[in-house]
Chains A and B, each alone.
Chain A
Amino acid sequence: MATLPSKPIADDVSLLVVLIDTNPFFWSTSSSSLNFHQFVSHVLVFLDLIVRLSQLNQIVVIATGHNTCDYIYDSSLDTDQVTGEGELPALYSFVLQRLEEFVDKDEKLGAKQEGLSEKRASSLLSGSLSMALCYIQRVFRSGPLHPQPRILCLQGSPDGSEQYVSIMNAIFSAQRSMVPIDCCYVGSHNSAFLQQASYITGGVYVKPQHLEGLYQYLATVFAVDLHSRSFLQLPRPAGVDFRASCFCHKTTIDMGYVCSVCLSIFCKHHDKCSTCGSVFGKAQLDAASDRKRKASES
Chain B
Amino acid sequence: MNNSEKKRMNGEAEEENEEDVEDEGRDAWERTYTDERSWEALEEDESGLLQPIDNKAIYHSQYRRRLQSLSATSAASRIQKGLIRFLCVVVDLSKAAGEMDFKPSRMAVIAKHVEAFIREFFDQNPLSQIGLVIIKDGVAQSLTELGGSPEAHIKALMGKLGCAGDSSLQNALELVHDTLHKIPSYGHREVLILYSALSTCDPGDIMETIQKCKKAKLRCSVIGLSAEMFVCKHLCQETGGSYMVALDEGHFKELLLEHAPPPPALAEFAIANLIKMGFPQRAAEGSIAICSCHREAKVGEGYICPRCKARVCELPTECRFCGLTLVSSPHLARSYHHLFPIEPFTEVSARQLELSRVASKTCFSCRESLLTPGTNKAGPCAACTKCKQYFCLDCDIYIHESLHNCPGCESRRITPAAASVTMS
A interface list, Cβ under 8 A from B: 1-2, 66-71, 74, 109-110, 113, 115-116, 124, 126-128, 130-131, 133-135, 137-138, 141, 163-166, 168-173, 176-177, 196, 200, 239-244, 253-263, 265-266, 269-270, 273, 276, 278-285, 288
Contact = CB atoms under 8 A, between A and B. Distances in A.
B271 A282 contact: yes
B403 interface: yes
Contact of B277 (A166, A255, A284): A255
A172 to B, nearest CB: 6
B274 A165 contact: no
B379 to A, nearest CB: 15
Given A130-B365, A131-B366, 20 more contacts: A113-B415, A115-B415, A130-B406, A134-B395, A135-B366, A166-B410, A169-B337, A172-B330, A173-B404, A242-B280, A242-B329, A243-B279, A243-B281, A244-B329, A255-B278, A255-B279, A259-B275, A269-B274, A273-B272, A283-B268
B405 A166 contact: yes
B282 A242 contact: yes
B407 A131 contact: yes
A113 B411 contact: no
B399 A284 contact: no
A46 B233 CA distance: 63
B278 to A, nearest CB: 5
A244 B404 contact: no
A270 B274 contact: yes
Given A196-B330, A244-B332, A254 B279 contact: yes
Contacts of B366: 131, 134-135, 137-138
Interface of B: 55-56, 59, 80, 83-84, 123, 127, 186-187, 267-268, 270-282, 284, 306-307, 324, 328-330, 332-337, 339-340, 363-368, 394-395, 398-399, 402-407, 410-413, 415
B367 A256 contact: no
A265 B278 CA distance: 11
A68 B186 CA distance: 41
A255 B327 CA distance: 10
Contact of B282 (A239, A273, A279): A239
Given A200-B330, A243-B329, A255-B277, A1 B59 contact: yes
B269 to A, nearest CB: 8
Closest 9 CB pairs of A and B: A127-B411, A134-B365, A278-B272, A260-B186, A127-B410, A168-B333, A138-B366, A130-B407, A244-B329
A1 B271 contact: no
B83 A138 contact: no
A253 B334 CA distance: 19
B413 A124 contact: yes
A285 B282 contact: no
Contacts of A254: 278-281, 306
Nearest to A171: B330
Contact of A68 (B332, B398, B413): B413
Contacts of A171: 330
A169 B271 contact: no
